[in-house]
Amino acid sequence: GLSRRPAACALRAAAARSPTASSWGLAARAGGCTQVIRVQPQLRALRTSSAALATQQFKLADIGEGITEVTLTELKVKEGDMIKEMDLVCAVESDKASVELTSPYTGKVVKVFHQANDVVKVGSPLIEVDVGGAGDSKP
């Protein structure tokens, strides 16, 4: 069966679920009496890591014509190199095309995921770039 709660209990439960409840309270009326129910506001925060935001992965984009993987023919960068946006990163080739890829980021190369002559699938990361320290110079 269904359980029955007194009106005041039902109002407290409704007030606790109410998206319009403020920290000052919610006035509720039932059976001729008014009750002010104090509701604690919920605090929500998005946690982020500055280290995760400081690096970006440059992934192999779809180069068209249904190509799902390419051979990395030439790698122009290595870990520790400083690169700028539009600098040449690598050359790739498939059975249909040869393409040179440029960096969309400015920063320091912190990881190279593949070597020359590796077969790379579309969507796989090629390099990881620390973009947070771009332009910083250490003495």
Q: What is the pLDDT of residue 97?
A: 86
Helix (H, G, I), strand (E, B) or coil at 23: coil
> pLDDT digit string (tens) for 24-44?
454 555 555 555 555 556 666
10 Å CB burial of residue 90 (0-12, 13-18, 19+) is buried
Q: What is the pLDDT of residue 38?
A: 59
Low-confidence spans in the chain with pLDDT less than 50: 1, 3, 5, 16, 19-24, 26, 134-139
Q: What is the pLDDT of residue 75?
A: 96
pTM higher than 0.75 for the full model? no
Q: What is the pLDDT of residue 115?
A: 95
Q: What is the pLDDT of residue 70?
A: 95
Asked whether the beta carbons of 25 and 36 are under 8 A apart, the reply is: yes
Q: What is the pLDDT of residue 65?
A: 81
Q: What is the pLDDT of residue 63?
A: 83
Q: What is the pLDDT of residue 47?
A: 56
DSSP result, 109-126? EEEE---TT-EEETT-EE
